Amino acid sequence: MLNRFIPSEEIRLGRTKTVETQGLVNYTERKEYLKENFNYDWVQKMPLDMVREFHKHLDYESRTLELLDKHPFIMSNVDTTLADIFTATQVEKIFQEGFVKKLVETTGHVRKSRPEVVNLLPKQQTTCYMDLQGRMKSHTPARHPVLFDLMKFIRSSHIFRNSRPIRQAIRCLMKTTTFIAPFDNFLRRTAYQLVSAIIIYKDTVMNARIQRENALKLKAEERRQAVMLKSEARIQAAVLRTNARIEARNTVRKAKVEAAKKAKADRKADRDAMLLAEKEMKMVIHAAKAAKVQEKEAAKAAKVQEKEAAKAAKAAKVQEKEAAKSA
């Protein structure tokens, strides 16, 4: 089956390395050896169905380590960290929901370990003894010491400005070992659920952030478009006002030009009328002068004629006298 997806040379090499485990004493040692030398590249080359089936048989610690290997930002304290993705409030929420509330419960102001967590640990053995006065006494420890350590760690984590509490919580869940299988498996399962929740929450936060940024970009674009439309409308209104002002000024100017032309024409007409009147007046005066001259000449001619008539009459009288004398 594996030959369909993994080259035979890699399988042969893997089997050669596996043979080395046959010399180990017991199953636990062989299991630890295979765990340390397992070739995860084979898993990446399998179909998804085989990968899912493979993951069903993985313990929670291996699953958690695989997730941490795929998503190094969870345990990183350089480059991209949880503090770069989540706010302090979100980091505290992850710590409380994914770690604290899985281990303890709060009643009023009292915080104590959850009963289902306590039940994973064996009941504490009661010790009986006789005191100095011969009285029988017994002592039963309240809880397993690991619960005190976990409670102490929870109380010491109260600063969430960085991702340190989350990293410490994952290390606490992964490294705390009581050699009590149910309790240790519960811690590893809680670590796996915490890491899985961080990955899912990160995708949710990033998608929400992207949507928020897209919404802000869209709103900014709409605001920019509105500003552009408003600016264009203002520019168009200003252009219309300018055009109206120019048109009104041109109309006034045209009216003034027309009025000036009309006034000029009127002045010219008045001047022409005056010139014509003056000309006619001159002509009348000239005619009157000519008439006077003619009258003077006629009177002069009449005087001349009268003088000549008087001379002729005088000459006739002289001739009559002379004729009378001669007669």
pLDDT per residue of the chain (327 residues) written in tens, 0 to 9: 445 445 556 555 554 544 444 444 566 676 677 666 666 666 667 788 887 777 777 888 888 988 898 888 898 887 778 888 888 889 889 999 999 999 998 887 788 888 898 888 887 666 777 777 778 877 666 678 888 888 888 888 777 777 888 999 999 999 999 888 999 999 999 999 999 999 999 999 999 989 999 999 999 999 999 999 988 998 999 999 999 889 888 888 888 888 888 888 888 888 888 888 888 888 888 888 888 888 888 888 788 888 888 887 887 787 888 777 776
Q: CA-CA distances (angstroms) from residue 118 to 141, 180, 250?
A: 13, 12, 97
Please provide the size of the chain in residues: 327
Q: CA-CA distances (angstroms) from residue 268 to 255, 263, 279?
A: 19, 8, 16
DSSP state of 20: G
Structure-block tokens of residue 73: 């930002």
The reported pTM is 0.58
State the CB neighbour count (10 A cutoff) for residue 202. 18
Q: Which residue has the tokens 């003056």?
A: 278
Q: What is the DSSP string of 79-140?
A: SS-HHHHS-HHHHHHHHIIIIIHHHEEEETTEEEE-HHHHTTSPPPPPEEEE-TTS-EEEE-
The full set of domain ranges for the chain reads 1-57
Q: What is the DSSP string of 195-254?
A: HHHHHHHHHHHHHHHHHHHHHHHHHHHHHHHHHHHHHHHHHHHHHHHHHHHHHHHHHHHH
Cα angle value 181/70/15 (rounded, 5°): 70
Structure-block tokens of residue 24: 């180990």
Distance CA 181, CA 245 (A): 93
